[in-house]
Amino acid sequence: MADPAAVEPSLLWYVLGVPASVIFYGRFYVQWIVSEIRRKSVMPISFWYMSSLGSLMLLVYGVVTTSALGTLSHCFNIAVYSRNLIHIWREKGKLSPGLNFGVHVFVAVVILASVGVTAWTWWHVYDRSSAGPSGELQKTAVWLGVGVLGQALFALRFLVQWVATERRKKSVVPTSFWWLSLAASALMCASFTREREWVYAVGIAATLFIYARNLWLIYVYGNESAEADD
């Protein structure tokens, strides 16, 4: 029988996890609605604000629920989200030297802390799995491997987007971003489902349609990248 003391904190932290999932994964529904209105794939600035806030909340949720893949998924994201916001603020004339410095300091602190808590979470999962039934560690390692591959594709999509943004000096989203998103989501969803981490699994599954719809809009209307929009 499961130890009630071990389950209760996780249930309590759903108060953070569910809103975090709605904010983070709901960003793509905001993006979809705006794209449908404009009849082309665009990326509203609210997408990057929701990305930043939701990712930080899901990182905390991953730590308190000891989700190895959850913490890894949100370890470095803030760097990409903040750089997009900086380019958008600069383009709109809202980026002051103080704001630029402050954001970079904040991001550096968050990433250093994220690396530490992610390492702790992975050690905790290893320790728990190795003490479990025979073969549990191997099964956990295989499914974490599937999730890590998915996360690698997720990271690659934002690396591609980041490079395109830095080259153009404005926030843009190339078509390859959406193809990578589809593949990564399928792998991540499978891994989170196996671990019964439903906050992450359901949130990721809910975005699959959005990725496909953006590809359809790009195919139909011919815009090769989604630019940031108000």
* pTM: predicted TM-score of the whole model, two decimal places: 0.76
**pLDDT at residue 182, rounded to an integer:** 92
Q: What is the mean pLDDT of residues 9-33?
A: 83
Beta pairing class for 225-229 and 172-174: antiparallel
The residue written with tokens 């250093």 in the block is: 112
Summarize pLDDT for 84-107 with one digit per residue, the tens. 899 899 988 999 999 999 999 999
Strand ordering across the sheet containing 172-174: 43-44, 225-229, 172-174
Ramachandran region, residue 65 (left: φ > 0; alpha: ψ -120 to 50; beta: rest)? alpha
Domain of 10, in residue numbers = 4-229
Report the share of the chain in percent with pLDDT over 70.
90
Tally of domains in the chain: 1
Q: What is the mean pLDDT of residues 196-224?
A: 85
